[in-house]
Structure 1
Amino acid sequence: MGAGIAPADASTKPGADNHGGLVNMDATPTGGKAATHAARGATTVSMPAPTGPYKVGTVSLHLKDTSRTDPYVPGHQTRELMVSLWYPTDSTTGHSLAPWMPSLTAAHYLAGLGVRAGSLTLPTTAGHVLAPVDTKAGKLPVLLYSTGLHSDRAMGTALVEDLASRGYLVVAVDHTHDANEVEFPGGRLETDTMPSNAHSSDTLAVRAADVKFVNNELGQIANGKNPDVDGAKLPTGLLRDVDMTKIGMFGWSLGGAAVATSMQADSRIDAGADLDGTFYGSATSENLSRPFMLFSSATHNRNDDSSWATFWSHLKGVRYDLKMAGSAHLTFSDNEVLLPQAANQLGLSQSQVQQTLGTIAPDRAIQVERTYLAAYFDQELLKKKSSLLSATSSSYPEISFVK
């Protein structure tokens, strides 16, 4: 199993160690390879449009942390990361839309799915490459995103680009050699080399160090310096336009657990949100006084996950515990968008898709997630109070507050 669409088996549950979610068609109820279904015709997958007032720009950066070696490869190699920045723009002319994944990453991802070349076209995003920052939006508050174990940073695109359209600088982090595939400039593809017996608490420590380093690099941009190790061009208007006094973080699955660990390691992160991820390590033993939101699927919350119950008891600041009816673990990733559209190519019936994703309609699930994440970060970072966080809403009956 790897990063992406997944069958509804034990490995996709919040308490499992493998949260990435790539379909292994041998593990699906049909038992067949996706490639055997390619003759049904090519499929093009699309993403839901962002809902904020701004158009979206994007750029990817190559970062190198010279203070650390990569724990997942031999030879004391320097830790390198790829991150994608998403931000508001008002000028998109001449700036092409970014693909959901770059070409080598996409090819490796689709090969892992067992999909025949040309039979499944991955989405185009709403992000315009290197479009100038809309400086009328003011200095941009920062949101960091960490994805599931062995998952790619692209897996949060539906949420990431929507938050950017609402005026945030959103930074999606790929955790190299934890992710199934990470593409670096020059056509270099790095794959998952994490030891099979790696403990989640150790993995989270690496991720927290990655996030702290990324925050340092964002600080360089805020101070007018370009941290890209290859000197890649930054969008016009980005330098000195990053507000390092307003930083939030959210993540899905193990990436949600990484939010807590990262907040403990870096006091600059002002508010966090965990999308259905079980906690490990220090998150369950140390107090946290900054705002935090738990956002869970229908069958997972602090009443049946002891790590959530323990973590909840250590939250000493503002805290929320939300549950979305009809949802499943993969609902909080781009699987919610991809799987229903790609089911034919993957040889999955609609009942199997529903078994995997739950009963909530995909577009509705994404809408609800986007709305509550924005309400939370707007309230905790921008001090825009939201009634959605104080009581249940008739407009969003899917959301309840866990007692």
Structure 2
Amino acid sequence: MVSLPAPTGPNTVGVTELQVTDPRRTDPWTGATRELLVQIWYPAQAAGDAATAAWMPPGGRSAQEAYLAGLGVPEARWSLGPGHSYPNRPAREAGGPFPVLLNSPGMGDTTGWSTAQAEDLASHGYVVAAINHTHEAFAVHFPDGRVEHTVVPLDSPQEVLRDLLVPTRVADTRFVLDELAAATTDRQSAARLPVGLSERLDLSNVGMFGHSLGGSTTVQSLHDEPRIRAGVNFDGPILGSVATDGTAQPVLMLASGASPWYGNAGWEPNWPTNSGVKIPLRVAGTEHMSFSDQQTILPQLTAAGLLPAATTAKAVGGIDPQRSIDLQRTSLRTFFDAVFGRSASGVVEAIDNLDQPEVAGPR
């Protein structure tokens, strides 16, 4: 059984799903009304001996099965351990309100693939709302039993990513933020969330993070949506108008050790049109999939003799898995704590002061 690293913060973590429908938009792939399923982690009341939720919801689990099958690991040979979050627990009453962090997964990925990051942030007093981008995510299992699969090829040209996928994802992000805002003022909307959660959302402090194309979405969302105050891009290319316009919002950018993006447009130290704080860093010993839960899953399968070490190294590098997870968690928390005034340090100072010898790059 593959185990998920426990969150490090003092708060019990709750998790829930929110289905939302945007009547103003049609789905670009089906022509139907755009529907989304959002997975939300949040600080919760103590859960006693209640059972925790699964590590990944059904869509994330089916994506994981397909991913590992592609690497040669049959489903019957592995299982995911439980998560550390409690389904639909009432929100914690003390210590808030809690800043909101939107999350956009990588291309084709589903929510649940960054559970180690999300649970840890929630345990430290953040609400994390991760978005399944329907018909691009591998599979989205809606509460009524429908399963919407991807229709977007993973080898789509960059023009499709830039001109269709990223704009669709940014629109999804803005709509989810609208729905969370509605929950703070409308009783019917609030009732769709766990007890007390709508009252604990701090929508004056909104950030965003994402991996791969989710990182691209994060940076473009900073450009397009002024309610999002800061973002973290995990190894995603800079696509769309933000590449030429820049953004005034602070951005932390963590590239893998062999990233093809690092040193290219938007990633290079000098981004002349960017007016905000940008911290572009590279994490030695990592690969592209290091910035997802594959960082903890694949090495455990290798240790169990189910996956060749070379296959794991190609996906997540040679960095110690727990060290990599710790770096990601600490960087996320330190960056957003500084942006939202939860620490005394400025953004650049806070990142500079981290004890992270694997992380280096120009300022």
- Structure 2-normalised TM-score? 0.90
Aligned to 1:130: 88
The alpha-carbon deviation at position 91 of structure 1 amounts to 1.6
The alpha-carbon deviation at position 52 of structure 1 amounts to 1.0
Q: Is the 8 A contact 1:221 1:238 kept in 2?
A: no
For 1:38-57, list aligned pairs within 5 A.
Answer: 44-57=1-14
Distance change (3 Å), C-alpha of 1:376 and 1:108: closer
Aligned to 1:400: 360
**Following superposition, which runs of at least 4 residues in structure 1 exceed 4 angstroms of deviation?**
195-198, 344-347, 391-394
The alpha-carbon deviation at position 383 of structure 1 amounts to 4.6
Distance change (3 Å), C-alpha of 1:226 and 1:384: farther
Structure 2 residue identity aligned to 1:235: P
Q: Deviations over 1:92-138 (max 9, x none)?
A: 13643111223465246425643545432123211100111111021
Q: How many residues align?
A: 355
Aligned to 1:6: none
The alpha-carbon deviation at position 282 of structure 1 amounts to 1.2
Aligned to 1:219: 181
For 1:110-189, list aligned pairs within 5 A.
Answer: 110-111=65-66, 113-114=68-69, 116-189=74-147
Q: Is the 8 A contact 2:98 2:201 kept in 1?
A: yes
Q: After the TM superposition, which of the residue ranges 317-326 and 242-251 deviates more from structure 2?
A: 317-326
Aligned to 2:172: 210
Q: Deviations over 1:157-213 (max 9, x none)?
A: 111110010000110111001111111012211110126567111210000000000
Q: Distance in 2 between matches of 1:369 and 1:63?
A: 29
Q: Is the 8 A contact 2:255 2:262 kept in 1?
A: no
Distance change (3 Å), C-alpha of 1:251 and 1:184: same
Q: After the TM superposition, which of the residue ranges 212-221 and 116-125 deviates more from structure 2?
A: 116-125
Task: Select 1:88's aligned residue among 35, 43, 47.
Answer: 43
Q: Distance in 2 between matches of 1:127 and 1:287?
A: 37
Superposition CA RMSD, Å: 2.4
Q: Distance in 1 between matches of 2:51 and 2:184?
A: 26
Distance change (3 Å), C-alpha of 1:400 and 1:93: same
3-state secondary structure, aligned to 1:338: helix
3-state secondary structure, aligned to 1:270: strand
The alpha-carbon deviation at position 221 of structure 1 amounts to 1.6
For 1:215-364, list aligned pairs within 5 A.
Answer: 215-227=177-189, 232=192, 234-300=193-259, 304-309=263-268, 312-343=271-302, 347-364=306-323
3-state secondary structure, aligned to 1:153: coil
Structure 1 residue identity aligned to 2:224: A
Q: Distance in 2 between matches of 1:281 and 1:260?
A: 9
The alpha-carbon deviation at position 272 of structure 1 amounts to 0.8
- Structure 1-normalised TM-score? 0.82
Structure 1 residue identity aligned to 2:55: W
Q: Relative contact order (alpha carbons < 8 A, sep ≥ 6): 1 or 2 greater?
A: 1
Q: Deviations over 1:20-44 (max 9, x none)?
A: xxxxxxxxxxxxxxxxxxxxxxxx1
Q: Identity, % of aligned pairs?
A: 34
Q: Deviations over 1:324-369 (max 9, x none)?
A: 1211111111110111122378953223312321121000000011
Q: Is the 8 A contact 1:220 1:226 kept in 2?
A: no
Q: Is the 8 A contact 2:248 2:275 kept in 1?
A: yes
Task: Select 2:54's aligned residue among 99, 104, 109.
Answer: 99
Q: Distance in 2 between matches of 1:130 and 1:187?
A: 19
Structure 2 residue identity aligned to 1:221: A
Structure 1 residue identity aligned to 2:160: H
Q: After the TM superposition, which of the residue ranges 378-387 and 126-135 deviates more from structure 2?
A: 378-387
Structure 2 residue identity aligned to 1:55: T
The alpha-carbon deviation at position 301 of structure 1 amounts to 7.7
Q: Distance in 1 between matches of 2:62 and 2:224?
A: 35
